[in-house]
Amino acid sequence: MHFQWLTNVSVFLCILGVAQLVAAGKPNDLFTRITPGDVEVCGKDTGVDRKDFEEAREKGALNHSMLCFLKCAMEKAGFLKDGHLEIDQAKEASPDKMTEPVVECFKAVGPISTCDDIQKVENCLPGS
């Protein structure tokens, strides 16, 4: 019984994190969508520390390595598959936060093949 309660809480927190990610593009929210192991893999693959990434993202100052870290995290979270944004998944996760301007901007991003392409996604998010 205790395990079921813990599972329900975990599912709720995951859904809440996805909704917040889509709504505000806040760095901390992305990490509720992926496992700590995936965060570690993205960090090792790019040489980027999560804390440094979060601070730079808040300032709108992501460098190439940080964009690679974000690309990796978006792939792990399921928002980026085979070089394409999964807009429908984001809309399902938080339909009230995916405004028409954000959706249209995401559609205009086109294929994402490089880390630097992620900047186009960042530019679509409010507050970027």
Domain ranges for the chain, please list them.
36-123
pLDDT of the residue at 42: 95
pLDDT of the residue at 63: 96
User: Would you tell me how many other CB atoms lie within 10 Å of the CB of residue 98?
Assistant: 19
CATH of 36-123, one of 2.60.120.380, 1.10.238.20, 1.10.260.40, 1.25.40.10: 1.10.238.20
Task: Give Cβ neighbours of residue 94 (< 8 Å, ≥ 6 apart).
Answer: 18, 19, 22, 23
- Model confidence at 22, pLDDT cuts 50, 70, 90, reads very low
- Model confidence at 41, pLDDT cuts 50, 70, 90, reads very high
User: Would the pLDDT of 78 be above 80?
Assistant: yes
- Model confidence at 125, pLDDT cuts 50, 70, 90, reads confident
